[in-house]
Each structure stands twice: as structure tokens, then as C-alpha cells.
Amino acid sequence: MVWFIVCTFLGLLLLSTPIAIVVLATTAGAVSIFLNVPLTALVQQLFRGLDNFLLLSIPFFILAGNIMAEGRIAHYLVQSMDACVGRFRGGLALAGILTCMFFAAISGSSPATVIAVGSIMIPALIRSGYSEKFSIGLITSAGTLGILIPPSIPMVLYSLVGNTSVSDMFMAGVVPGVIRVIIFGAFAVYMARRFNWGATSSHSLGETLRILGRASWGLAMPLIVLGGIYSGIFTPTEAAGVSVVYALLVETFIYRSLTWEKLRVILVKSAVLSSALLFIIACAMPFIWLLTREQLPVQAAEFIGAHISNKYVFLFLVNILLLAVGCVMDIVTSILVLTPIFLPMLAHFDIDPVAWGIMMIVNVEIGFLTFPFGLNLFVAMGITKKPLTYIARAVMPFLLLLFVCLLMVTYIPVISTWLPFALK
């Protein structure tokens, strides 16, 4: 049966069949050939997969992100970051990274962050004298902070199949995210000084305050969303719903940037992307049910446990596997399919599921940036009208920095686990 699953899966995948259908067809095939179970059981699993209040957060986060990107919130965020740190050399690049961080703290997606920040920041960086390649590489890679800094859609997915709390996962991403900001920031400032890039902008104190004041509606959002979750006022799903309404109210009544036509475009775009994601989740649930029912993950864990005894070697090999998978497959499927397979091994090697989750998220971030299927590369291609290979080369130095971060979260798990436990 394992061979049937692997061959069908790969065969359909190579045909360019939509991944949701690949998973569904593989499961349906395996169930009807090897199990004595009617296919209505599959439909029940399909339904049960979606019957979860947590999943509602995914369309909400997408919707909120699109509203802010189409409206003025993202724009004012960029301006306020520039006003704060743009006064010294390398400051504008730093402002770009910080805006990505801030936008990440109000949206849960990496491509959305690149669109929102990149379309304003990349031209601004180039205009102020930064090399084009560096500017594109910087924002395209800093956009991956979108899924490491809470809230984060992939973290919701991981919690869903990994039996961890979403709030813990969200908190666990904060410290690795800040470390990333520092590493990227140091590199950007070093490059700017070395090559003498970037004019410095100087805003008077009054002007800075005025810009900050105008952006305060957007700046307050992470406080509302994360503060609300951790003070127990609302659940992560409700936080996502509230952020949609908040963004909508701010854009409509305060910034007055939304027209009916814009809203229609935002709604359709969000609905299409959300359903594509939710549909994969629905289709993956019967597959996970099949795996668990046949105890395949447990068997795999026993096999690996018998052959690899060292935890660090195991972690290293898993990272290689995840990186390879990240190069060819989309992130949602890899989280949904791989998490249940690895879960029994975590107990065997005494690995914390939260730290493991963050490790997977960083792998996913790298997957966003690797040729030829990295989603962020395509988004950057859309914004800058440069060829894919050019953008893939532009993110190279940042990929190396990301590998350093990956090693850190893999081998120093306390980076991830410290904050969620400190808050308990």
C-alpha cells in the first residue's frame, strides 16, 4: 500500500494535477483497493476536516492582509518606519525590514507581505541609490517574516495537525523573528555603508511625530491582535475576524481609501485564495485519517528509530528532506502531509513539538525563496517585472542568512520555546 500511495502521489503530481486532487485521488484509490471501507467514509473525513472554527482564521487573515495592502495602512507604515530610522546610512533598508516585521505582525502570509511592502519599498530603495538586485532580494526575503512573526497561517495549519496550541506557536515565533530582523538589518547596514548606498532622509521631530500619528491606526493593530489573544479577550480565530473589521473600518472611515470597486476586487481575490487553501486542507484530512488508521507514521518512526539513534543527525537529515520538499512542493501540503508522519518520531527523540513547528516554519520560509517554485519569487516577479532567475539570484545572500537562522532554531530550540513558557 505504501508503494501505491507513493507512486500515485508522485505520478499525479508530475502531471501538474492540482495538489488537492492529488492527495484526494491517492486516498480514494488506496481506500477502495486496500481497505474494506465505503468511500462515504472519505466524504465524512472531508467534511470533518473543514468542521473546525480555527480554520476560519485563514480566510480572515487573507482578507485583512488584502484590505491593508490595497488600502493606505501598508503605505503609511513604510513612511513611519522611514521617518524613524531613515536618518542614517542604511536606514532605508532597515526601514524596509522593520516594515516587513510590522506588516507580518498584522498579516499571516509571506506573499502578502512582499506585495504590500515591496510595491512601495523596492522602488523607494532603488530611487535612493541602493543596487536594484540588493533591494529586490532584501524585501523579497524579508517578506518571509510574514509567517514567522505572529499571526501566521502556516502556524495555524501546523497547530491543526500537530496538536499544539496556536497561541504557543504564535509566541514561539517572536524571538526567532526578532533575531532574523537583527541579522538582516546588520547585513543591510553593512552593505549600505560598504557600497555607499542610499541617501539619508532627515525629518524634523515634528514631522516624524505627524507621520507616526497618521500611521498609528496601523501601528496599533499588532497590539490589538496579539494583545487580545494573550490577555484572553479573544481566540486567534476571533482576533483574525476582528482585524478584518478593524482594517475595513480604518480604511473606509479614517483613510477613506476604499471604493466599492476596490472592495469587490479584494473580496474576490481573498475568496479565491482562501478556497484554494481550504480545499487542500479539506482534501488532506482523509489522507491523514488513512495514514493514522494504517499506523504508517508509527511504522516509519520505528524504522527510523532503529536506524538513526542520534537526535542531531536525525534533525539534520530531516532538514535536508524538508528543504528538498520545500523546493518542489507548496508549503500548505508539505505541512499537512509531513507533520503527521513526523509526529511519532518527536516523542522518540524527545523533541519539543513547538520548537519543531518553528523549525518547519523556517524551512517553509526558505521554500518561499527557492527556485523554481518559491511563491515570493513569483510575487516579486509581478511587482518588479524582472525575470525569475534574476530574482532567484537576488535572494541568494539572504538565503544563506536564512540557513544560519535555520541551524539556530534547529539546534538551539530554547530560542523558540522560551517565550511561550515564560508567559505561562
Stretch that binds other proteins, among 156-164, 238-246, 308-316, 399-407 (CB under 8 A): 238-246
Query: Rounded CA gap, 399 and 403, in Å?
Result: 6
Query: 117: closest CA among 199, 209, 109, 273?
Result: 109
- Site residues (CB under 8 A) for other proteins, limited to 353-372: 372
- Site residues (CB under 8 A) for other proteins, limited to 87-126: none
The binder of other proteins chosen from 30, 105, 142, 244 (CB under 8 A): 244
| C-beta closer to other proteins: residue 126 or 220 | 220
* The three grid cell numbers given for residue 138, joined into one nine-digit string: 532584501
Is residue 335 at the binding interface for other proteins, with CB under 8 A as the rule? no
CB 297 within 8 A of CB 343: yes
| C-beta closer to other proteins: residue 234 or 390 | 234
Terminal Cα distance for the chain, rounded: 44
Is residue 402 at the binding interface for other proteins, with CB under 8 A as the rule? no
| Shortest spacing between CB 19 and other proteins, in angstroms | 5
| Shortest spacing between CB 105 and other proteins, in angstroms | 19
- How distant is the alpha carbon of residue 302 from its chain centre? 31
Query: 167: closest CA among 238, 243, 65?
Result: 238
Total of residues contacting other proteins (CB under 8 A): 62
CB 141 within 8 A of CB 395: yes
Binding mask 2-21 for other proteins (x = CB under 8 A): ----------xxxxxxxxxx
Is residue 52 at the binding interface for other proteins, with CB under 8 A as the rule? yes
DSSP class of residue 88? Answer: S
DSSP secondary structure string for all residues of 198-236: -PPP---HHHHHHHHHHHHHHHHHHHHHHHHHHTTSS-H
Query: Rounded CA gap, 100 and 57, in Å?
Result: 21
DSSP class of residue 360? Answer: H
| C-beta closer to other proteins: residue 188 or 280 | 280
Is residue 42 at the binding interface for other proteins, with CB under 8 A as the rule? yes
CB 211 within 8 A of CB 116: no
Is residue 336 at the binding interface for other proteins, with CB under 8 A as the rule? no
The binder of other proteins chosen from 165, 216, 259, 275 (CB under 8 A): 275
The binder of other proteins chosen from 24, 81, 338, 409 (CB under 8 A): 24
The binder of other proteins chosen from 3, 33, 40, 424 (CB under 8 A): 40
DSSP class of residue 129? Answer: T
Residues near other proteins, by CB under 8 A = 12-21, 24-25, 28, 38-40, 42-44, 46-47, 50-53, 55-56, 59-60, 63, 233-234, 237-238, 240-242, 244-245, 248, 264, 266-268, 270-276, 278-280, 282, 328-330, 332-333, 372-373
